[in-house]
Every structure is written in structure tokens, then in C-alpha cells.
């Protein structure tokens, strides 16, 4: 049985097939409107989530399936002390596929080890968030037209941002990707990521100022500085406005450089950038639904009609 716990659970060939399917769903949504009729998705969210939960549930509804579940730990048996292993064993009796988000790292793996239905990791603490990575890859493929030979700039909190780490790992498997890491010294990408890139002879550059490098980029992936990752409020306040992408900075970028962001945005992208055709972050949300639809079909073994 297949699960999705981390992005590299799928080979590059499998990912390409998944993105081909998602692209076909985008073009012909009505063709897929009933392929999961009679199937149920259990969405087990032990911590709050807006985008990921609604996107995953929307994906199942778009395929003609149904959803059930809980959206915080207080409304589940976890409050009574039930283990993740026991919860998933029970849910396996109700649903055909489960999507799980849990504050503890590795919770989705424990679920998968004890499950008799496919498990989708929708975020396990600061560890993995593979459906976001699939969304990011799908957005790059759809906007840029390829997943190889481009320069991607990752900007903001590169130290704590799990989406950034997952995306770098996933992109490192494709040909000809140049990475540009733009962050304050305090929020630089961890050593294990740069060690991995060094081992594979993949080029990366490190910058502090976005303006120094924005003209070189094909993709700019912005991230939010997350308050919850800081022990020191002063440090957070000092760093939170370090990067603000505005129309002035966008003038220096290529005409076909696209801006992505995993959302939610706080103030790292000025609202004036939203109307720039290169702003792809709201389209990214839509691609997230298509790619999750393709993922649910793939894990359930449902063939395209």
C-alpha cells in the first residue's frame, strides 16, 4: 500500500505522472467529477489548518467522494489519551484514505505503520509537509513550463521553514537547478541542506540582500518569518520585516520570473504585488487542489477515465 509521508516517497517518474494527471484534471475537471464516488476521505487534523485541510477535503469532493473527520485534537479521542496508532486502526474501518496533520514530528509515519488504508501526511510538526511540496512543484511546472534548468531564489526564513527544506530536497532531484538562498545570517539554511547540495555538486549562492540577485531568478519563493519559532520576541520583531517584496523590487526582476509563497502571507509581500501577473501565489492554491486530487486518485489506485 502506498502512503505519502515525505516528498521523496515518489520517484521523479512517479511525480511526473502525478503532475501529468493534475494537469489533465485542470483542463478537464468534469471528466474526474465522479471517479471517487463511494469513497471516503478521513481528515484527521490534530491542530488547526485552513488551507491544507480545506484543499484536501475539496480535492476529495471534486472527485465525487465524501469526507469525514475532525479539525482539532480536542474533538478527537486524542483528548482521552488515545494513541495515533489506535486512532488510525479505528479510522481504517471507516474510510478508504486518511489525511493526517499532527503537531508531533513523525506522527504520520506512525499512522502509516498501523494503517490498512493509504495515509497522506498533511504536516507533522516542523518535519514534513509533502503535499505543499507537490503543490510548489506543480506550480513551478505549470507557470515556468518545466521542472529543470532554472534558478530558484528562496527568501526569508530558511532556517525554520519546513516548506523550504522540503522544496530544496525535492528540486535537488531535477536537472540543472541553481539555488539562491536569500536570508538574514540568523535564518540561513541549515548545514544538512548545504551538505546535501555539496555532496551532489549542485550550485547554490547565499545572499543577504534580495535586490542584489532578484534579476537572475526564474522563480522567487517567499516565506514568512514565523513568530512561533522564536523564543525571543525581540529577535522576531527585528527579523520579521527583513524582506518586503514590493512593486519597486519587482521592476528589477525578469518579465517571466514568478513569485510563489506557501501562504499565509503577513507583510513579506506587499499587497500591490498581487496584481502583477508574475504573482503566482494564489494560483498556487488552486494547483494545490489539482495535485491533491491527482494524489488521492493515485494512492487509491483510481485510474483516469
Which one, 37 or 86, has the nearer CB to other proteins? 86
State the nearest-atom distance from the C-beta of 62 to other proteins, in Å.
Answer: 31
State the nearest-atom distance from the C-beta of 297 to other proteins, in Å.
Answer: 28
- Chain residues that interact with other proteins, rule: CB under 8 A: 83-85, 102-107, 109-110, 124-127, 192
129 noted as active-site residue: yes
252 noted as active-site residue: no
101 noted as active-site residue: yes
Which one, 128 or 183, has the nearer CB to other proteins? 128
Nearest residue to 208 via CA among 188, 233, 184, 241? 184
Residues in the chain: 305
Q: DSSP per residue over 3-61, as a string?
A: -BSSGGGS-HHHHHHHHHHHHHHHH-GGGGTTTTTT-EEEEEESS--SHHHHHHHHHHH
52 noted as active-site residue: yes
Which one, 8 or 24, has the nearer CB to other proteins? 8
State the nearest-atom distance from the C-beta of 100 to other proteins, in Å.
Answer: 11
Which one, 92 or 128, has the nearer CB to other proteins? 128
For strand 258-260 and strand 219-222, is the pairing parallel, antiparallel, or unpaired? Answer: parallel
Nearest residue to 121 via CA among 224, 43, 15, 17? 43
**Annotated catalytic residue: which of 6, 39, 40, 52?**
52
Nearest residue to 118 via CA among 302, 244, 241, 299? 299
51 noted as active-site residue: yes
Q: Any idea which residues carry the catalytic annotation?
A: 51-52, 80, 101, 129
Amino acid at each position: 500500500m502506498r502512503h505519502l509521508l515525505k516528498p521523496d516517497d515518489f520517484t521523479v517518474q512517479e511525480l511526473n505522472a502525478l503532475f501529468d494527471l493534475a494537469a489533465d484534471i485542470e483542463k478537464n475537471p468534469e471528466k474526474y467529477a465522479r471517479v471517487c464516488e463511494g469513497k471516503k476521505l478521513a481528515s484527521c487534523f490534530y491542530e488547526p489548518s485552513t488551507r491544507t485541510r480545506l484543499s484536501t477535503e475539496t480535492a476529495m469532493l471534486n472527485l465525487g467522494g465524501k469526507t469525514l473527520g475532525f479539525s482539532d485534537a480536542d474533538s478527537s479521542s486524542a483528548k482521552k489519551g488515545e494513541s495515533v496508532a489506535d486512532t488510525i486502526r479505528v479510522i481504517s474501518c471507516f474510510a478508504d484514505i486518511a489525511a493526517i496533520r499532527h503537531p508531533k514530528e513523525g506522527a504520520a509515519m506512525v499512522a502509516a505503520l498501523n494503517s490498512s488504508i493509504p495515509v497522506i501526511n498533511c504536516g507533522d510538526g516542523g518535519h514534513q509537509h509533502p503535499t505543499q511540496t507537490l503543490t510548489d512543484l506543480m506550480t513551478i511546472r505549470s507557470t515556468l513550463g518545466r521542472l529543470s534548468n532554472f534558478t530558484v531564489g528562496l527568501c526569508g526564513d530558511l532556517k525554520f521553514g519546513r516548506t523550504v527544506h522540503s522544496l530544496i530536497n525535492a528540486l535537488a532531484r531535477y536537472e540543472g537547478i541553481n539555488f539562491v538562498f536569500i536570508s538574514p545570517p540568523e535564518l540561513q539554511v541549515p548545514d544538512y541542506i548545504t551538505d546535501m547540495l555539496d555532496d551532489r555538486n549542485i550550485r547554490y549562492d547565499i545572499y543577504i540582500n534580495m535586490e542584489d540577485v532578484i534579476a537572475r531568478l526564474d522563480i522567487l519563493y517567499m516565506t514568512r518569518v514565523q513568530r512561533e519559532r522564536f523564543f525571543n520576541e525581540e529577535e522576531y520583531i527585528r527579523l520579521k520585516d527583513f524582506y518586503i517584496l514590493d512593486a519597486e523590487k519587482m521592476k528589477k526582476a525578469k518579465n517571466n520570473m514568478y513569485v510563489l509563497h506557501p501562504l499565509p502571507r503577513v507583510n513579506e509581500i506587499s499587497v500591490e504585488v498581487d496584481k502583477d501577473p508574475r504573482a503566482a501565489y494564489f494560483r498556487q492554491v488552486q494547483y494545490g487542489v489539482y495535485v491533491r486530487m491527482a494524489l488521492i486518485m493515485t494512492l487509491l489506485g483510481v485510474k483516469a477515465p
